[in-house]
Chain A
Amino acid sequence: MSGTPFVVLSAILFTIGCVGVLTRRNAIVVFMCIELMLNATNLALVTFSRINGTLDGQIMAFFVMVVAAAEVVVGLAIIVSVFRTRRSASVDDVNLLKY
C-alpha cells in the first residue's frame, strides 16, 4: 500500500489538532490537541520510514515521544500551578501580560 493515505490522514489529524488549539479554552484540552498534533507528525514519520526503507523515521518518532512525555509533565505542572493561583484552567484568564 502506498504511503499517501497515511500521510493524508496525518495531515487531517494535524489540522484538527490545530483548530482545537485555536478554539478550545480549557488549557488541558488545548494541551490534548497539541498531543494530537504530535501524534499526527509521528504517523507521518513512521510512514516516511516505511517508504524510505530505513529506520531513521522511527527513531525520530521515538524521540518525539520522549520529548512529548517531558513536555506533558512540565506543561501539566504549569497548569496545576496556574490553577492554584487563579482557581481556573481557562486560557483566557491568564492575561497578566496583557496590561
Chain B
Amino acid sequence: MVAFWILSPIMVAAALGLLFARKAVHAALLLAVVMICLSVLYLVQNAPFLFVVQIIVYTGAILMLFLFVLMLVGVDASDSVVETIRGQRLMATVAGLALGLLLVLGIGQVSLGAVTGLSQANADGNVQGLAQLLFSRYVFAFEATSALLITAAIGAMVLAHRERLTPKLTQADRAAQRMRAYAEHGTHPGPLPSPGVYARHNAVDTPALLPDGSPAETSVSRMFTVRGTIRPASASDVRMLTASVGDGATTDQERQGEQ
C-alpha cells in the first residue's frame, strides 16, 4: 500500500492547486494529475477495468474536451480574483472546512468492517465479472445509458449549432466589398504586407518596415499585438537601413562603378 501514501499527497496537492490556479489551462492539467493518480488507486484496489476506463474516458476524452473548449473560449477576465459577493471566499472556505471535518469525523466514527477483498469476485477476471453483472442485474440501467448518450449527443449538437443569419459571401462579393472600402475609406485593396519585409528577421512576430523605417502594423497578426510579443527591429538597424537607401545614399550602380 505504498502507492496510496505516495499518491494521496500528490492528489491532494493537485486538487488544492485546482483551487488556486490562476489560469484555467493549469487547472485542467492539475485535474489530469488527479485523474491519473486516481486510476492507479483503482488498479491498487483490484479494479483494472476502471483503471483503463478512467484513463481513456476521463483523462483522454473528457479532459481533452475541457482543453478544447478552453482553447475555443480563450482566456478572459473571468479568471480575475475580484470578489463579486463580499466575504464569499471566506464563507466558502469555512463551509468547506466544516464539510470536510464533518465527513472525515463521520468516517472516523464508523467502522467499515474487515476488508473482504475482490479475489473471489474477480476469480473469472475483473472484466468478465463486471460484464456478467452489467448484462444481467444492471441491464436496464445499461440500456438507459444508451438513451442518455444519444440525448447528450443531440443536445450538444443543438446547443452548439448556429444558424447562418446572413448569406454566405462569395469571392465576387468580397472583391466588391474591398473595392468599396478603397473608394470610401482608402483602405488598401490588396493583400496585407507580409511580416519581416526589410526588417532584421522574416519571423512572423517581426513587423515589416515601411520605406521610412517605421514598422507596418498590419504586417503582423493582431494576436501578437494583443499579447505584446512583437519583436520590433532595433533602432540602429533601422537607421542603417534608411541611411543606405534614403536620400544622399549611394545606389547600387554607383557603388559598382566605384569598384
Contacts and interface: CB of A to CB of B under 8 A. Distances in A.
A and B from one complex = yes
A72 B62 contact: yes
Q: How large is the interface on B (under 10, 10 to 19, 20 to 34, 35 or more residues)?
A: 35 or more
B34 A29 contact: no
B92 interface: yes
A87 B72 CA distance: 12
Contacts of A18: 96, 99
Contacts of A11: 100, 103-104, 107
A70 B152 contact: yes
B176 to A, nearest CB: 29
Contact of A32 (B18, B38, B118): B18
B73 A83 contact: yes
Interface string B3-38: 010001001100110110100100110010011001
B66 A25 contact: no
Interface of A: 1-9, 11-20, 22-29, 31-33, 35-36, 39, 42-43, 46-47, 49-56, 58-59, 61-63, 65-74, 76-81, 83-84, 87-93
Given A49-B45, A71-B152, 18 more contacts: A2-B112, A7-B107, A8-B108, A12-B15, A13-B34, A18-B96, A19-B92, A20-B19, A22-B88, A28-B70, A55-B129, A55-B133, A59-B130, A70-B149, A79-B73, A88-B77, A89-B78, A93-B78
